[in-house]
Structure 1
Amino acid sequence: MSEETTRYDASSIQVLQGWEAIRKRPGMYIGSTGERGLHQMVFEIANRAVNEVLAGRAGSVEVTLTPDGGVRVADDGPGVPIGKVGDTGRPELEALLTSIKTGAGPGGRRDVALDFSGVGPVVVNALSRRLTAEVRREGIRWVQEYARGVAVTPLNEAGTATGNGTTIAFWPDADIFETAEYSFEALAERFRQLAFLNRALDISLSDRRQQGKVRSARLRFPGGARDFVAFLDAQTAAPAPTETIALELEDPRMAGEVEVAFRWCGSHEERVRGFANSRPTIGGSHEQGFRDGVAAALNVYAREQLLLNATDPDLGADRIGEGLTAVVSVKLDHPEFEGSTQGVLRNPPVRTCVAQAVQEHLGRWLEGHPEQALAVFGRIQGTRED
């Protein structure tokens, strides 16, 4: 083997920056080039608009699937600033759409993170054959257009504007994506979750891809986790032996807050959904704490009411969970996740705080609702005998 073929030094390293790096390895930034990645493009653009609403600067977000294969995301906030950024001479809007953020990570409890890699809207710009941005701010309408991550027009003043807001529309690049078909159901599911978990959120999703046929959904749920539980249980015809039990609590020990809603229904399926800072989880300290708290409250009540004999073992989580529908949501100042997918919450104090809150709240509910408490135990005891 020659020296030429074995030599490896700095000259052998290819350095890609900005939109070039994104287009070279899109999966690193949106997860895939299939349907999942296509949907992530929508979430990446919606991320800023959603947080404008949660910060109180906007009232609603509108997401539209357009007939020509594009997606339009609009909000009625103050509009992205159009002033120059430092010494770059670039408008802030252009910096938002072309500059990769650094040091990205999980935000605080008031932030919703819909993005995949934390680099911001630049990833959508780079992976779109065309992207247009419109800012309505202080009575003026500003527009700019991009192609595959590069500005093809300057930021132009395009007349007067009624009201404020930002609208970004994009058309995914067919050279990148394996599919161009969005799933209305998949997008609605994620936006619905956000609306359940953030009561101030008001999202409208419209599908205008078929001529003469418009499909739309307005996603706003002032009842929060209670509404979420009712939605999950609506998928079964089995009657619920208990009302929905709900609690909300802020606990400085975990530097955050918890919202929990749950009830037992007549089916045998367990539906426990966990979320950390509005991000779906597959387990972690908040879900463990919820199960600990439910088990502790039920066992204490059962012993006090002689529903369990002295020789009977405690009710286990496997029995307690059958027919249980629950939403466990925590919002933390400093969430700690396991792995890059951030699917498992690892903040140790959360388990203790959630368990204590659930045990105390459920304990009081059991004492105040003896008939429903008996229905729950009758169901659990029946399950034990199966």
Structure 2
Amino acid sequence: MQQKSEEYTARHLSVLEGLEAVRKRPGMYIGSTDHRGLMHCVWEIIDNAIDEALEGHCSEILVTLHPDHSVSVADNGRGIPIDTVKSVGLSGVEVVFTKLHAGGKFGGGSYSSSGGLHGVGASVVNALSARLDVEVDRGGKTYGMSFRRGEPGVFDDANGRTPNSPFTPFTESSELKVVGKAKRGKTGTRVRFWADYQIFSKDVEFDWETLVARARQSSFLVPGLKLIVRDERQEPALQEELLHEGGVVDFVDFLAKDGPVTDTWRLQGQGEYQETVQQLDDGGHLKAVELTRTCEVECALRWGIGYDTKVQSFVNIIATPKGGTHIQGFEQALLKVLRAQVDKNARKLKVTAKDGRIEKDDILAGLTAVVTVRLPEPQFEGQTKEILGTPQVRQVVNKVITDALKEQLTSKKRDDKQQASNLLEKIVGEMKARQSARLHKEISRRKNALETSSLPAKLADCRTNEVADSELFIVEGDSALGTAKLARSSEFQALFPIRGKILNVQKASTADMLANAECSAIIQVIGAGSGRTFNLEAARYGKVILMTDADVDGAHIRTLLLTLFFRYMRPLVEAGRVYAAVPPLHRVELSATGRKKKEYVYTYSEEELNTLLKKLARSGRKYKEPIQRYKGLGEMDADQLAETTMDPAGRMLRRITLADEAALAKAEDTFELLMGSVVAPRKEFIVNGANQLELADIDV
């Protein structure tokens, strides 16, 4: 192998000037060159427009996806300055779009808070665009300038406005041209750019759904700002107009999908902190200056009956999906205040020293929150601004949330006291659920003859160690259990009986659910925990089959069981591992005629029975009267139950599925309607559906 030269001198070093560094290492500025990076370029331009709205100078932003793979952003803000920047001798427009770390957000007093604070947003987008056009309305005139891959110049658009039009770069000096007239008093900025596919992957496109979601998010965070998003790439064009006056409270209500435990609370305040920053002096040199900063904190939050957590955080309306110091302060405040409230109400909540302490996950269960802070010149970790790094913000947020939440939880109003009580009960329930799940994980998934088992005594387990092949039948009543034991294949079929109707967990707290013997036993038998701690891989059975009587009571018990699985073991349902057995309603005994022996035919509905009887009448086949009508599983003997309901060769099962988000949302609504604590919608549902029910269908 040829030995490489060890000589390393100054001639090996290369200096990337201006926007060359951006094109050489685009990932440093936009995160990636795939779909995420392409959309980040759009966010940079939109965020500059929204910064104008935050200062009260912009009320409308229009974002348009064009058929030629370009995107434009137009706002009615003040417009980018068009006068000359003395230090560089260039117009404000050219400085903003060609110079890194240039802009009005570095302590010059133009913006008290902003998202595009690094001063690289517009210039980075310009560097990564095959073409970028900017127009500014100021002083009754419209000024325009064009760039190709960051270089200013003039396009010849005689044959159409495209990034491939002939381009003449400026050589000696650049020029911001007047390209039209603007109405008196009209100001604003319009930016249109074509992404450079020498940089981005060839197949990436601007995504409509992602754009609308981001625009909706911004409309929540800046109340009164109208965002119009258009997609002209199809006919007819799609358009969304987004305007929300309620701010973060509306945002939380939009995000929350589960039933409420509390109303949506708005917590807000502000605090000051000291920060040493570098600022330019009159001579153009940087010097250290200690400033007093003001951080405004606004938070909306509510707890729901579910256990999923949705916390979205923002700094000057810029999303910080990976959190940062503001989220650290928020979570610390929640934990401190709610721990203190639980300790204060320990006797009422039946919490003892052996129960341990509330943890962060207990508090976050079912929480939907939007946390936003506004401060000048925040420090982010990287240009993509996914993590806030300003350390002083943590203490400010902590104090604001602590004071506001404590005031909310100790309010003397009757409604507030009830909501606070419901919240503390939910948190304690989550703590006990977590401890219960930990105990369940300690139980071996399969016990051999030499081990002791702490599983419920009434469980008739199966012998196989193969989870995928095993089945758990949850059986209604001990009478059906006796028959089912004789009918099952004990190699792979386990039986667990329940006594009548279990607790309706849609209306009960987590603590009540865990205190219920039947519910806790079912969770223990399945062995995968519950709620947030549910671990699908730890489930002891490949199929869970609900086997109830084919009557109204059986249907009610099945609904109660499904509510338990949906609320606390949802991944099992989503994986398609929960089934409902379909036992027959009738057994028709056909008489022996000629060579035909006596036969038994099972039917599963009145309609199917009527069809069978008509068929027998046409063929002249006789059957024994009266036809047997099964009122419950206990009326079958073991052979009949095995043949019709338990034997995989002849049984029929209904799989309970949640195929997509729409099905999930529909299931949420259905369970809340049928099993929730609000009675009025359920009464209306029953009254409206009563005329569709025949008296003969009622099993009495």
Instruction: Please report the TM-score for the alignment, with normalisation by the length of structure 1.
Output: 0.86
> Does 106-115 or 285-294 show the bigger shift?
106-115
How far off its partner does 1:278 sit? 3.1
Amino acid of the structure 2 residue aligned with 1:122: S
Describe the SS at the equivalent of 1:199.
coil
- Residues 121-143 of structure 1: per-residue CA shift (max 9 Å, x gap): 12111211111111121111222
Contact 1:73/1:167 (<8 A) preserved:
yes
Mark the CA change 1:81 to 1:337 in structure 2 (over 3 Å): closer, same or farther: closer
How far off its partner does 1:359 sit? 3.5
Mark the CA change 1:316 to 1:92 in structure 2 (over 3 Å): closer, same or farther: closer
Describe the SS at the equivalent of 2:19.
helix
Describe the SS at the equivalent of 1:50.
helix
Contact 1:292/1:355 (<8 A) preserved:
no
Residue 113 of structure 2 corresponds to which residue in structure 1? 111
Mark the CA change 1:110 to 1:209 in structure 2 (over 3 Å): closer, same or farther: farther
Residue 182 of structure 2 corresponds to which residue in structure 1? 161
Q: 1:207 and 1:151 mapped to 2: Cα distance? A: 28
Describe the SS at the equivalent of 2:270.
strand
Query: In structure 2, which of residues 340, 359, 363 is the aligned counterpart of residue 316 of structure 1?
Result: 359
Q: 1:136 and 1:337 mapped to 2: Cα distance? A: 32
Contact 1:128/1:172 (<8 A) preserved:
yes
Describe the SS at the equivalent of 1:49.
helix
Query: In structure 2, which of residues 187, 193, 204 is the aligned counterpart of residue 170 of structure 1?
Result: 193
Alignment of 1:1-386 (within 5 A): 5-86=5-86, 88-101=88-101, 110-114=112-116, 118-153=119-154, 154-162=175-183, 163-178=186-201, 179-210=203-234, 212-233=235-256, 236=257, 238-252=258-272, 255-279=294-318, 280-302=320-342, 303-304=344-345, 306-309=347-350, 311-312=352-353, 313-333=356-376, 335-336=378-379, 343-345=387-389, 346-347=391-392, 348-350=394-396, 352-365=398-411, 368=414, 369-383=416-430, 384=432, 385=511, 386=514
Mark the CA change 1:344 to 1:58 in structure 2 (over 3 Å): closer, same or farther: closer
Describe the SS at the equivalent of 2:121.
coil
Gaps of 5+ in 2: 155-174, 274-292, 433-510, 515-700
Amino acid of the structure 2 residue aligned with 1:49: A
Describe the SS at the equivalent of 1:260.
strand
Q: 1:2 and 1:104 mapped to 2: Cα distance? A: 54
Amino acid of the structure 2 residue aligned with 1:215: L
Amino acid of the structure 2 residue aligned with 1:311: T
> Does 156-165 or 221-230 show the bigger shift?
156-165
Contact 1:281/1:344 (<8 A) preserved:
no
Q: 2:378 and 2:143 mapped to 1: Cα distance? A: 37
Describe the SS at the equivalent of 1:291.
helix
Mark the CA change 1:208 to 1:79 in structure 2 (over 3 Å): closer, same or farther: same
How far off its partner does 1:275 sit? 2.8
Contact 1:286/1:354 (<8 A) preserved:
no
How far off its partner does 1:89 sit? 4.2
Gaps of 5+ in 1: none
Alignment length, in residue pairs? Answer: 381
Of all paired residues, the percent bearing the same amino acid is: 36
Q: 1:106 and 1:194 mapped to 2: Cα distance? A: 23
Q: 2:143 and 2:137 mapped to 1: Cα distance? A: 6
Amino acid of the structure 1 residue aligned with 2:268: E
Instruction: Please report the TM-score for the alignment, with normalisation by the length of structure 2.
Output: 0.50
Q: Which has the larger radius of gyration?
A: 2
Amino acid of the structure 1 residue aligned with 2:99: S
Describe the SS at the equivalent of 1:152.
strand
- Determine which structure has greater relative contact order: mean sequence separation of CA pairs < 8 Å that are 6+ residues apart, divided by chain length: 1
Contact 1:54/1:200 (<8 A) preserved:
no
